[in-house]
Amino acid sequence: MNNDVTEIRWHGRGGQGVKTASFLLAEAMINCDVEAQGFPEYGPEKSGAPVAAYNRISKKRILTHTGIKNPDVVVILDPSMISKDNDFKNPLNSIWNTGVAEKTIIIANLPRDFPENNCSTEKIYTIDATSIARKLIGKPIPNTTLIGVLIKVLKLDLKTLEKSFRSRLEKKLPPKIVDGNIKCIEEGYNSA
Amino acid sequence: MTMKRVALTGNEAMALAMRQAKPDVFIGYPITPASDILSAIAKYVANGEMEAEFMTPESEHSVASALFGASSAGARSFTCTASQGLALMHEVLHIISGARLPIVISSSSRSLSSPINVHGDHADFMDMRDASFIQIFSENSQDSYDNFLQGVKIAESVRLPAIISSDGFITSHNLEPVEVLKDDEAYDFVGEFKPAYSILDIQNPITINPLSLPDSFMEIKKSQSDAMAFAKKEIIKTAKEYQKLSGREYGFFRPYKLKDAEIAIVVMGSTAETAQSVIDELRKKDVKAGILALRVFRPFPYLKIAEALKNCKAICIMDRSDGFSGHGGPLFVETSAALYDLKNKPKIISRIYGLGGREINEEMIKSVFEDIKKLSENKKVERYGYVGLKI
């Protein structure tokens, strides 16, 4: 409804860090004196089940408390949510392509190409975030690499946000894993 | 006074306020969507950041019973719960309020079974409307924090228990900016709990929760009723004190463009904020629309609501629970009673929305305003209906 707000929708499966991604971003933005929301959509809370999370970022106070229907950015954490035929209209893609318009930016964790001519969107960024995460943190959790891509796409300053990312991750993870995740963010950022 | 701006979910904001109010006792049992409050408290206690006696008994009925004992001994006693957990406490809630024990509950409102559903609506909050608790509802995480600190002060000053709630998941699990007070500032505001009586004061022995037969029962209930009516003064007094400290204004409700409104909604919780952009759009089209966002449900501010709505032509009261009166939602029924004494009564309709976490968005709120507009033009509109229904 409000053009001053950037709306981001995250899609993945339980265990891939969908909620954590939206919370990392929201907290980092709030710490930079920007208005932001981060919230998950809860369904059956099972590992492997499709889950979504949302972010709103704005200079003005955010008063809307609804899910995001027409996102500015869609981030897909799980490659199995994207059909292999690259057909945007394939029913499998309906999990994430609902409300996606021409101007919507798509960021996908995909170890293969995603031909843009089969999609209605103009900007698609793909990255093999699972392999990067395996290499840098030893676990196939793609969220932080994709955050890196998103920061670059939104033209945000990585250095200012990194401190917030680190402090939130440190609350739950051992130092080695935190360092690995920060490297993931940097690798995602530099590759976009 | 220095406010710090931090990112907190509604549940985290509530847990922080609970820690800052320094309870002597915290007793809890986890339940979605309030479990995060309990785990935050457990962490505070384990880290030595909270000195409370922390107990996790086998059910919510036992939680409420143990709280009764703790509060009788003069301890500042808190818990958190929702939905079936709050329902399981129900028997004891009446005993707590009847014994005038100022226990404070933080809650993230959720639907009641059956069918099983873990998502947000106001059924649990409304289910306890005769339990003689001060009942306050929050629109966002900031409100959750501010309302809890105020709730403790109000409860202890009028010796009635209180529940402070917000929309389950929508507010409880939404990370957003919250301005928080320093620990000592928050505690100084709430103040030390000075219990009127303590069962541990053996120099002045008392009986708590005695048998009271027809010769005395009504007088005790009248004093309880007077306390609830008196709470209105304390709520406003406390809000003014809190405003001095925080700069944020609170009252019985939060009006939005209501002063000159011809049509309006009465609504509680996060939906009141979502509705603001709908009002802004309607105002651009010269439709005089407004919102009354109710904060205090018990004591119900009948006179203030009537005063605020007296110039409206038509109103929709939006309820996030049905209440099953067969006539309209619980907030509708109460608001209708508030308007009864007005000379020129606005026309009213009841709309039920958002049950069990069903989305309520700007489009749906717009459709409600279309109905209110028709009603104001004397056109026929369904009196009691559901919004966002698939059938």
Q: Which residue has the tokens 């979910």?
A: B9
Packing angle, helices B217-246 and B183-190, rounded to 10? 150
Q: Name which of B111, B121, B175 to mutate to probe chain A: the one with the most chain A Cβ atoms within 10 A of its Cβ.
A: B175
| Closest CA in chain B for residue A57 | B176
Lowest mean pLDDT among A41-55, B128-142, B277-291: A41-55
Q: Which amino acid is at B379?
A: K
Show the beta-strand stretches assigned E in chain B. Answer: 4-8, 25-27, 53-55, 77-81, 104-109, 134-137, 162-167, 176-180, 253-256, 263-268, 289-294, 296-298, 314-319, 347-352, 384-386
Nearest to A66 among B6, B173, B359 (CB): B359
Q: Cβ of B277 and A37 within 8 Å?
A: no
**Full DSSP string of B320-340:** SS-TT-SSS-HHHHHHHHHHT
Contacts of A122 by beta carbon, 8 Å cutoff, 6+ apart: A102, A103, A116
Chain A residues with CB under 8 Å of a chain B CB are 1-2, 22-23, 26-27, 30-31, 33, 35-40, 42, 62-67, 69
Q: Is the pLDDT of residue B277 over 80?
A: yes
Q: Which amino acid is at A53?
A: A
Q: What is the mean pLDDT of chain B?
A: 97
pLDDT for position B1: 57
Asked if the peptide bond before residue B299 counts as cis, ω within 30 degrees of 0, the response is: yes
Nearest to A65 among B118, B119, B274 (CB): B274
For chain A, domains (ranges, CATH) are 6-191 (3.40.920.10)
Question: What's the rounded Cα separation, in Å, for the pair B119 and B357?
Answer: 5
Per-residue pLDDT tens digits for B187-232: 999 999 999 999 999 999 999 999 999 999 999 999 999 999 999 9
For chain B, domains (ranges, CATH) are 4-246 (3.40.50.970), 253-386 (3.40.50.920)
Q: How confident is the model at residue A119 (pLDDT cuts 50, 70, 90)?
A: low
Nearest to A2 among B5, B170, B277 (CB): B277
B20 or A47: which carries more pLDDT confidence?
B20
CA dihedral B14, B19, B22, B24 (to 10 degrees): 90
DSSP B354: -
pLDDT for position B65: 98
Per-residue pLDDT tens digits for A36-52: 999 998 766 677 889 99
DSSP B130: T
Q: How far is A184 from chain B (nearest CA, A)?
A: 23
pLDDT for position A45: 65
Q: How far is A36 from chain B (nearest CA, A)?
A: 6
Q: Which residue has the tokens 């449900």?
A: B297
Q: Give the H/E segment covering residue B14.
A: helix B10-20
How wide is the angle at C-alpha A182 spanned by C-alphas A180 and A188, nearest 5°?
100
The number of C-beta contacts closer than 8 angstroms across A and B is: 66
Lowest mean pLDDT among A15-19, A85-89, B139-143, B382-386: A85-89
pTM for this model (two decimals): 0.96
Terminal alpha carbon distance of chain B: 53
Q: Is the pLDDT of residue B355 over 80?
A: yes
| Closest CA in chain A for residue B358 | A66
Structure tokens at A25: 């971003």
